[in-house]
Structure 1
Amino acid sequence: MRVLAIDTSNLVLSVAVVEAGRVLAELTTNQQKNHSVRLMDAISLLMDETGTLPEQLGAIGVAKGPGSYTGVRIGVAAAKSMAWSLQVPVIGISSLEAVGMNALGFSGLIVPLFDARRGQVYTAAYRADGWEALRAEAEERLVLLRDWCASLRQQAGGEPLLFLGEDLAIHRELIVAEMGEQARFAPASYNHPRAAHIGLLAFRKLAAAGNSHELVPEYLQLAEAEAKWLAQNPAPAGKEQS
């Protein structure tokens, strides 16, 4: 059985075809281009390169966010559509966890983050669980980076923290100021999500996989347009917005 894995949740576009314990092919680019235009071509290329027929796919794994609203929607919509047409399960994987998987083997806390503007980041904290998976130490959140650093200082004690993510250049100065020598930074190649990790994680989570209708994106906050609409159209007293 093979799994097709997709990540379009941020700037990176990554697609992979994996089997249990083996990556058959992976394509990853980090360019400012339109995922909606390029995703299906990338999938077709990898399916052809690996000789994978649609009926050989046993599941679809996809980065479900947080990240770019548009990017997350593109990947999740494509994964759900393919899973529905093939009648296979779709497994949503945290976009943060996918980046954190690059640091398997690190002995301290692993802290992936994405910029969320206005001094905020999407982030979480993990610890390596052997060489195959991560264990969440702090749940995904949208938080001011300065507040997050204060929380990490309490949680980590004196152990090192490895920060990961393509947006680190925006926040590195503040992280160093707040965390000092506890803050560690990996080479640039470790900051990009890999669809191969998403595919291998999807294999581990197959038993809990749902159907294509059950998967929903994880944005961690409302889109700006939706937030403005809700502010201008408050729910009547005693009722909630659906």
Structure 2
Amino acid sequence: MKMLAIDTSTHVLGIALADEQKILGEYTTNIKKNHSVRLMPAVESLMKESGVVPEELDAIAVTTGPGSYTGVRIGVTTAKSMAWALNIPLYPVSTLQVFAQNGLGFPGLVSPLIDARRNQVYTAAFSGSTEQNAVTRQMKDQIILLPEWLKVLEQTQEKILFVGEDTGSRQEQIRERLGSRAVFADWMGQTIRPAEIIRVARTAGEARDAHTVVPEYAQLAEAEKNWQKAQSGRSE
């Protein structure tokens, strides 16, 4: 079974291609350039270099957020279009769960962090200890003020490994609250490895019809909030 994975939910652009036995190819950049311009050329190049034509794909996996509103939309729309055109299933995967794979095997909780502005983070909690090559979800994906999230984690009494792109700038704030219970991933744990999207999809994912897959923002986008506010004002 050949599967293509796509991630554009943060500044990182990631693509992977694998069959049942091995990773055929993987592509990652973290250079904050336009995903909408670079995604399809990157997919085409990776598939060509791997000797795989689109008709040989059996499924596609995509990170559906939470993360960058524009980035999530680009990745999900591209994956949906490809899956629909090829008539193959699409596996939606939480961006936070794939980030948490960086903590696979950690003897405690794994908490991925993605900046959501105004001292808020997109986050969740997973158990790093597993026998199935995938972390186990303990708390749902959510957007929350970081101090409030640290209060939640305080109650667990476990060591917590923080992974993801927003860990570096938050270390002092986290240590003040959790002390030695806070552990931080190194630079390798600050980005998603695209092949992990495929592992999560195969281990814990659900094949879906492309039309049923939607972005998971964990909150309304700013444009939607403004629109709803405007509509509410008109109805008063």
For the aligned pair, the TM-score class normalised by the smaller chain equals over 0.9
1:233 aligns with 2:231: yes
1:143 to partner: Cα distance:
0.5
1:146 aligns with 2:147: yes
Aligned length: 234
Q: Supply the RMSD in Å over aligned alpha carbons.
A: 1.4
Q: What is aligned with 1:130?
A: 131
Distance 1:21 1:130, change over 3 A: farther
Q: 1:156-175 residue pairs with structure 2 within 5 A?
A: 157=157, 159-175=158-174
Q: Distance in 2 between matches of 1:178 and 1:214?
A: 41
Q: What is aligned with 1:219?
A: 217
Q: Distance in 2 between matches of 1:205 and 1:97?
A: 10
Q: What is aligned with 2:197?
A: 198
| Identity %, equivalent residues | 47
Residue type at the aligned position of 1:132: N
Q: Hey, which bits of structure 1, 4+ residues long, moved more than 6 A?
A: none
Q: What is aligned with 1:44?
A: 44
Give unmatched runs, 5+ long, in structure 2: none
1:199 to partner: Cα distance:
1.4
CA contact (8 A) 1:100 1:111 kept: yes
Distance 1:187 1:99, change over 3 A: same
CA contact (8 A) 1:4 1:59 kept: yes
Q: Distance in 2 between matches of 1:55 and 1:142?
A: 38
- SS of the residue 2:84 aligns to: helix
CA deviation string 1:105-129 (max 9, x = no partner) = 1111000010101111000000132
Q: Distance in 2 between matches of 1:130 and 1:22?
A: 20
Q: Compare 115-124 and 169-178 and name the one that shifted more.
A: 169-178
Q: Distance in 2 between matches of 1:135 and 1:201?
A: 10
Distance 1:199 1:87, change over 3 A: same
CA contact (8 A) 2:132 2:203 kept: no
Q: 1:1-242 residue pairs with structure 2 within 5 A?
A: 1-128=1-128, 129-130=130-131, 132-155=133-156, 157=157, 159-205=158-204, 208-234=206-232
Q: Distance in 2 between matches of 1:205 and 1:18?
A: 17
1:203 to partner: Cα distance:
2.4
TM-score by length of 1: 0.93
CA contact (8 A) 1:15 1:43 kept: yes
1:204 to partner: Cα distance:
2.9
- SS of the residue 1:124 aligns to: strand
Residue type at the aligned position of 1:109: L
1:229 to partner: Cα distance:
1.6
CA deviation string 1:129-158 (max 9, x = no partner) = 225111111111111100100100102x1x
Q: Compare 139-148 and 128-137 and name the one that shifted more.
A: 128-137
